[in-house]
């Protein structure tokens, strides 16, 4: 049976793991990878890993094709595009659709934004958070990609992961968080999605 690119990559990963465990040298890795990437059939993929642990016959079963399923978190009509707290508080939680651009402003107050139950209008969303002598807390599920680029001036603009937060898949929705914390704080926390 013909080998696919996914089959070759699985075997290459076994070889890279063997190198990291000290079972093969760098020269052996190069030699074996050359054979793997030149292989046309599943049978030709067997010799480069035959002497390594974990090289059971199940490894050489053809990889099942990846079925692309539409991301259920993307789509819908966005609601409000702004949350403002002036000497008060504002909260955006639960089931809601995050627009492509969302603005949050806190002055002597606090804003809580929780994206764990949210959907996204598009694959990429931007949240601009400005906290002046106030605070903005943003909770992001660990299955989306987060890019934090805000600035703290006499304040803090920070990102942190909670224990148990995993790594999002490469095709996950992207949330970009930017803005300013002046004598205040913007905190972005990645947490596992609610059960």
pLDDT tens track, the chain, 195 positions: 788 887 888 888 888 888 878 888 889 988 998 998 898 888 888 898 988 876 654 555 554 444 334 467 788 888 889 999 999 999 999 999 999 999 999 999 999 999 999 999 988 999 999 999 999 999 999 888 999 999 999 999 999 887 767 778 878 889 999 999 999 999 999 988 765
pLDDT of residue 9: 81
pLDDT of residue 109: 95
pLDDT of residue 60: 57
Query: Alpha helix locations (H) across the chain?
Result: 5-20, 26-38
Report the C-alpha gap between 112 and 107 in whole angstroms: 13
pLDDT of residue 147: 93
Task: Give Cα separations from 11 to 22, 24, 30, 122, 175 (angstroms).
Answer: 17, 14, 13, 36, 34
Q: In what order do the strands lie in the sheet with 185-191?
A: 89-92, 110-114, 135-141, 185-191, 156-161
Task: Give Cα separations from 63 to 10, 18, 42, 44, 66 (angstroms).
Answer: 9, 21, 11, 15, 9
Report the C-alpha gap between 84 and 192 in whole angstroms: 27
**Rg of the chain, C-alpha, whole Å:** 24
């Amino acid at each position: 049976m013909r080998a696919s690119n996914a089959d070759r990559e699985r075997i290459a990963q076994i070889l890279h793991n063997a190198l990291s465990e000290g079972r093969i040298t760098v020269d052996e890795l190069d030699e074996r990878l050359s054979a793997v990437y030149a292989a046309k059939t599943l049978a030709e993929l067997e010799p480069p890993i035959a002497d390594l642990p974990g090289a059971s016959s199940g490894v050489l079963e053809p990889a099942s094709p990846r079925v692309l399923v539409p991301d259920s978190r993307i789509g819908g009509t966005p609601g409000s595009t702004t949350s403002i707290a002036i000497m008060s508080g504002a909260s955006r939680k639960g089931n809601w659709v995050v627009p492509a651009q969302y603005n949050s402003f806190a002055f002597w107050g606090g804003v809580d934004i929780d994206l764990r139950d949210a959907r996204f209008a598009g694959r990429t969303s931007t949240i601009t958070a400005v906290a002046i002598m106030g605070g903005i807390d943003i909770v992001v599920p660990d299955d989306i990609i987060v890019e934090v680029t805000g600035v703290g001036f006499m304040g803090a603009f920070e990102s942190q992961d909670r224990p148990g937060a995993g790594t999002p898949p490469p095709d996950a929705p992207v949330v970009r968080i930017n803005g300013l914390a002046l004598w205040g704080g913007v905190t972005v926390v990645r947490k596992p999605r609610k059960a």
